[in-house]
Amino acid sequence: MIPLRDSNPARGIPVVTKALICVNLVVFLWELTLGRRLPLAFVQYAIIPARYTHPAAMAEMIGPFPSLGAALLPFLSSMFLHGGWLHLLGNMWTLWIFGDNVEARLGHFRYLLFYLASGLVAALLHTLTHFNSAAPTLGASGAIAGVMGAYFRFFPTARVVAIIPPFFFLPIVVPAVLFLGWWFLLQFFNGTFGLAVKGPQFSGIAWWAHIGGFLFGVGASNWLGRRKWVPAGGW
């Protein structure tokens, strides 16, 4: 299912969500200027699991990390890289639909920290489940999965208008808990099957990053949801 919109009106201006979308767009435009240097940028700024799990072998192939900071940077920078327009637009559209309400619930600063933490957990789980992979991993989907997990926790009864390809002319309305629950089950099924068969058809999507981000989003929001919030977004 592809989400079109939700029934939750935004409360306040989602400045962080808008800023994240703008940063992702600017970074992608920068990618377009690199030309033949783009693969080198992916090596430097995307996550390559084998560089962390098999450092000696990967150092012979593409060189070692020059510093600890350079080794840690991809866990942040990879969240803002994308492999194409469809990759970018799909992620940003999903963030726009679900991010504004989660931002209003958490407050701007805590929402930003939550978003980055979701992306970090997603990247770590992907690395642990693909420790032999030398393929660059990039995209905001792990962090956005965390936002979706928080939405699942905070707004389960909200309505989501979605379409099911190829029936684009027949939008359906489903509860958020059903839409997001079904989305998570698809990630879990594909991720588990992909680990079992290790087929090339599963190598292009970081299923376990989505799973890790979503579960972190549900768990962290469950803890955050026990706190009392004021309209300005503080505790």
Band of residue 164 on the pLDDT scale cut at 50, 70, 90: confident
Strands, E assignment, 137-215: 159-164, 167-175
- Residue 135, classified by CB atoms within 10 Å of its CB into exposed (0-12), middle (13-18) or buried (19+), is middle
Is residue 31 pLDDT above 50, yes or no?
yes
Least confident of 23-32, 96-105, 217-226: 217-226
Please compute the mean of the pLDDT values over residues 80-105 and round it to a whole number.
96
Helix (H) or strand (E) holding 2: strand 2-6
Residue-range domains of the chain with CATH: 2-224 (1.20.1540.10)
Q: Which of 111, 91, 102 is nearest to 205 (CA)?
A: 91
**In this predicted model, what pLDDT tens digit does every residue of 3-14 receive, in sequence order?**
999 998 888 899
Calculate the alpha carbon distances from 133 to 27, 54, 62, 219 in Å: 25, 10, 14, 28
* Residue reference for tokens 């962080």: 16
Return the top range by mean pLDDT from 136-150, 201-215, 217-231: 136-150
**In this predicted model, what pLDDT tens digit does every residue of 173-201 receive, in sequence order?**
999 999 999 999 999 998 888 777 765 44
Is residue 230 pLDDT above 60, yes or no?
no
Q: What is the CA radius of gyration of the chain?
A: 18
Higher per-residue pLDDT: 232 or 225: 225
Res 204: pLDDT = 67
Is residue 234 pLDDT above 60, yes or no?
no
**In this predicted model, what pLDDT tens digit does every residue of 44-68 receive, in sequence order?**
999 999 999 999 989 888 888 999 9
Please compute the mean of the pLDDT values over residues 143-172 and round it to a whole number.
91
